[in-house]
Amino acid sequence: MTAKKEVKKSIKEAPKSATGSYSAEDITVLEGLEAVRRRPGMYIGTTGPDGLHHLVWEVFDNSRDEAMGGFADDVEVALLPGNRVRVVDNGRGIPVDTHKKTKVSALETIMTTLHAGGKFGGEGYKVSGGLHGVGISVVNALSVNTRAEIHRDGGKYVQEYKNGGKSTGKVKKVGASDITGTIITFEPDDSIFTEVVFDWGKIVSHLRLQAYLVKKLKISIFDFREHEEKFDDTSVIYMRELNREVPSMTFYFEGGLESLVTFQNRYQKPIHKNVFYVEKEVDGVNVEVALQYVDDISSRLSAFANNTYNAEGGTHVTGFKTALTRTLNAYMKKSGAGKSGNGKSAAKEIEAFTGDDVLEGLTVVVSVKLQEIQFEGQTKGKLGSMEARGATEAVFGDAFASFLEEHPDDARLIIGKATLALKARKAAKAAKDSVLRKGALEGLTLPGKLADCQVRNAAEAELFIVEGDSAGGSSKQGRDRRTQAILPLRGKILNVERARLDKMLTSTEIRALIVALGTAIGDTFDIEKLRYHKVIIATDADVDGAHIRTLLLTLFYRYFKPIIEGGYLYIAQPPLYKIKKGKEVSYAYSEEEKDKLVGGEVSLIEEVDESGEDEEESEEEDGAEDDAKKKVRANKVTIQRYKGLGEMNPEELKETTMDPEKRVLKQVNIEDAREADKIFDILMGTDVAARKSFIQSNAKNANIDI
C-alpha cells in the first residue's frame, strides 16, 4: 500500500465522533484581561523572577515617561509588606474624566483595557517607552490587588481592582489635594508567578540606570518589607522627607550618559581622558551617545530606545557600529597614524579595522528617542525602527570625526588601541586555525584527556568537566558511556579575563576544552556545532574547587556566551556528606540537610575522615551482641565529609553526581549580563582595591570550610 493510499484510508475511516467534536463551541474567547492571565509569558516574557520585576518596570515606566515629557521630576518606588509595591510620581496624574468610547473613566480604561493609554497619538506623550499601551493593564491583570490614587485638578481620586484587574467600583473623589501625581500600589498574584520575592539589588540597579538616562530626575527607592511600623499609607510622597530608618537609595544625575559611562568604567583604566558625548536631533529622532575606551579586551555596549533597555540591540546599534568603524578607518588613513620609518602609511602596513577591532575595550551608551517607535516583541528587547539607524549613523559619525580632530592625543590612543586589537586578531586567527587543525587530525580523541561518549546526538550527550586525574578516573568508571563524556582538567586554567585569544590558546587545558566542545571559538564560533547539550562543571567543594569553577565560568562568559544563553551550561552539586545511620546510607548536599538527616534521637555521632574508614566492620566480627549493644549500633550515625570528587568511589560518584535520576544540577543563566560583567571585572581583573572592597563587603555571605 502506498503512502498516499494510507492517508486516504485513514481519512475515510476517521470516526464521526472525532471529526464532529470541533465546532464553534470549541472556540474560546477571552474577555478583557483574561488573555493576559492565561498567557502571561506573551506580555512579560516569563513568570519567573524577570517577569515579576517586569511588573515594577512597567509601572515605573509610566512615571518616567511623565518625567521625559517634562511633567515630573520626582519618582518613588517602595517595597511594602505583603509583597506589595508602590510607585509614586509628581506628574500630571492619570485623567479621571469619562472616556467617550468606553463610557467609564479614563483611569479605569487605562487600568483594565489592553492597548489603551496616552501614547498612541494626540498630545499625551511625544516620547514614550511604552507604546504598546499594555503595561499598567498587564500589571493589573497579574495582581490580586491594585490601587490607583490620583491627585489632579485639586482633588484626590481612588479606584481599586481585585483578582486580576476587576474594578471594585467607579473611581471616587475622596478629598481635596494641593498636589498632582499618580500612586499605583499592586500585589502580584502568587498563583501566576513561581515565587513572589523582589530583589532589592536588581531594583536598585535598574532604577539607577534610569536616573542616568533622564537628566535631573530624582528617583528614590525604599524597602519597608521588614519595617511595617515605619510605613504610613496616608503620606503621599516619602521622598520629600526621606525616611532614613529603612533601607533607601536616592539617585539624581545631571551628567546623563557621560556620568553613566564614567560609572560603568569605575573599575577600569581609561585609555583616554575625555569622555566623548553628543546629543542631537535629526529628522525627529533624538540621538545621544557617550563613549570611552579602557584598557580591557571586552566591550560594553548598552542601547536604549525611549529609555527602554534593548538587550538585543537594534537599528540604532547597527547605525552606531557602522559609523564607528568607518570613522576610525577614515581617520587612520587621513592622519597617517602608524607610519613607519620608511614613510609607508599605516593603511598599507595594516589592513582596515573590522567592527570587532574598534569595539575592543569600548564602553558606550547609545540612546535614541522617537515618537513612532517599533520594538520587536512586547519586552522591547530589540529596536526595529529603521529611521533610528540613519539618524544614529549621521549624528554620531559627524560628531566623532570632529572629536578625533579636536583631541589628537585621545585620537592617537584610540587608534593605537584598535591597531593592537587588529594585530591580536590576526595572531589569534593563526593560533586558532592551528588548534582546530590539530584537533581535526587527532579525531577528537585527545588521549589522556577526553573520554568521549558513544552517542552522536548532541541533545542526548553530556560533557563533565572535572578537576584533576583522581576525579577523572572515578567519573570515567562511574559514567554512562553511551551518553556521558569526561574531560579532566589538570590544575587551574588560565585567567582569561584579560588574556587575548592568541595567549589563551597556548593553554593545553583550554585547547582541549575547545576541541571537545566542537563549536570553534572567536569569529568562527558556531553554536550549532556544540557536541553536548549539557556541559557540566564538576569541581570539588573547597576553595580551590570554587576558584577553578570561577575561572571556567569566566572562560564561558567571555568566549562561549551563547552556550550559557542557550541553557547548555550546568554546575554539578556533589554531596558534602555521606551519612550512615545504622545500615541506612544517605547523602546531604548542605549543612541544613545534614542536620535534618542526622536528627536529635541518636545514641552516637561519629565524624570520620575522608577515607570513610570506621570501626563498624571490626565490631561486627566480635560475634554476638546483647540487646543494649544492638540498640546503640542501630542508632549510631557515621558522618563522612567529602572534600573532593576524587574521594568518592565510582559507585558513589555515579549515584550522587552523575545519575540523571538522582543528581542535582544547577543551570547557569545570565539574568543581568551587565551586572555579571561588573563582577567578573572586579574578581578577575587588575583593580586590587576594588577586589578587596568587594570581598570585604561580601565576606558575610561566604561559606568557608576550614
Q: Which of 53-57, 406-410, 620-624, 654-658 has the lowest mean pLDDT?
A: 620-624
Give Dmax over CA atoms of the chain in angstroms. Answer: 100
CA distances from 441 to 438, 444, 446, 515, 527 (A): 5, 8, 10, 11, 21
80 by DSSP, 3-state: which?
strand
DSSP notation for 4-40: HHHHHHHHHT--HHHHTS-SGGG-----TTHHHHH-T
Q: CA 409: distance to chain centroid?
A: 37
Other Cβ atoms less than 10 A from the Cβ of 25: the count is 7
Quick one: pLDDT band at residue 233, thresholds 50, 70, 90?
low
**Domains of the chain as residue ranges with CATH:** 34-251 (3.30.565.10), 257-425 (3.30.230.10), 442-574 (3.40.50.670), 577-613+627-641 (no CATH), 679-706 (no CATH)
Can you give the pLDDT at residue 673?
A: 44
542 is catalytic: yes
Which helix (H) or strand (E) element contains residue 600?
none
pLDDT of 261 above 60: yes
Mention every residue, 6+ apart, whose C-beta is less than 8 A from residue 634: 582
Judged on CB neighbours under 10 Å (0-12, 13-18, 19+), 29 is exposed
Grid coordinates given for 273: 581622558
Active-site residue (options: 544, 593, 672, 677): 544
Q: Which of 237-251, 537-551, 563-577, 618-632 has the lowest mean pLDDT?
A: 618-632
DSSP notation for 625-670: --HHHHHHHHHEEEEEE---GGGS-HHHHIIIII-TTT--EEE---
Select the more confidently predicted residue: 253 or 491.
253
Sequence length of the chain is: 706
Mention every residue, 6+ apart, whose C-beta is less than 8 A from residue 201: none
What DSSP designation does 560 have? -
H-helix segments, 277-314: none
The pTM for the full model equals: 0.67
Condensed to tens digits (0 to 9), the pLDDT of residues 290-343 reads: 999 999 888 899 999 988 889 889 999 999 999 999 999 999 998 876 454 444
The answer to whether 234 and 247 have CB atoms below 8 angstroms apart is no
Give, in degrees to the nearest 5, the angle at Cα 106 between 104 and 108. Answer: 65
Strands (E), 30-137: 74-80, 84-89
580 by DSSP, 3-state: which?
strand
50 is catalytic: no
Can you give the pLDDT at residue 605?
A: 52
Mention every residue, 6+ apart, whose C-beta is less than 8 A from residue 275: 258, 261, 262, 290, 291, 292
User: What residues does 314 pair with on adjacent strands?
Assistant: 383
Quick one: pLDDT band at residue 428, thresholds 50, 70, 90?
confident
Condensed to tens digits (0 to 9), the pLDDT of residues 332-387 reads: 998 876 454 444 444 455 689 999 999 999 999 999 999 888 888 655 788 999 99
CA distances from 686 to 413, 555, 556, 683, 693 (A): 20, 17, 20, 8, 13
Condensed to tens digits (0 to 9), the pLDDT of residues 106-156 reads: 899 889 887 655 443 444 555 554 433 357 899 999 999 999 999 999 999
Sign of the alpha-carbon dihedral angle for 599, 605, 610, 616: negative
Instruction: State the average pLDDT over residues 502-508.
Output: 78
Torsion of CA 359, 364, 373, 35, to 10 degrees: 90
Query: Cα(first)–Cα(last) distance of the chain, in Å?
Result: 74
Q: Which of 470-484, 563-577, 668-682 has the lowest mean pLDDT?
A: 668-682
Active-site residue (options: 279, 356, 542, 672): 542
Q: How far apart are CA 5 and CA 11, in angstroms?
A: 10
DSSP notation for 443-484: TT--TTT-B--S---TTT-EEEEEEHHHHHHHHHHHS-TTTE
Active-site residue (options: 296, 360, 509, 540): 540
Select the more confidently predicted residue: 156 or 496.
156
Best CA proximity match to 160, nearest among 174, 173, 182, 145: 145
Q: Which of 97-111, 218-232, 599-613, 663-677 has the lowest mean pLDDT?
A: 599-613
Strands (E), 90-154: 143-152
Q: How far apart are CA 415 and CA 499, in angstroms?
A: 20
Sign of the alpha-carbon dihedral angle for 353, 357, 359, 360: negative
Mention every residue, 6+ apart, whose C-beta is less than 8 A from residue 699: none
Q: How far apart are CA 376 and CA 314, in angstroms?
A: 9
Q: Which of 37-41, 66-70, 168-172, 319-323 has the lowest mean pLDDT?
A: 37-41
467 is catalytic: yes
356 is catalytic: no
The answer to whether 563 and 556 have CB atoms below 8 angstroms apart is yes
Best CA proximity match to 247, nearest among 80, 387, 97, 426: 80
> φ, ψ for residue 278 (rounded to 5)?
-145, 145
> φ, ψ for residue 423 (rounded to 5)?
-65, -40
- The letter for the amino acid at 176 is A
Can you give the pLDDT at residue 247?
A: 85
Select the more confidently predicted residue: 688 or 417.
417
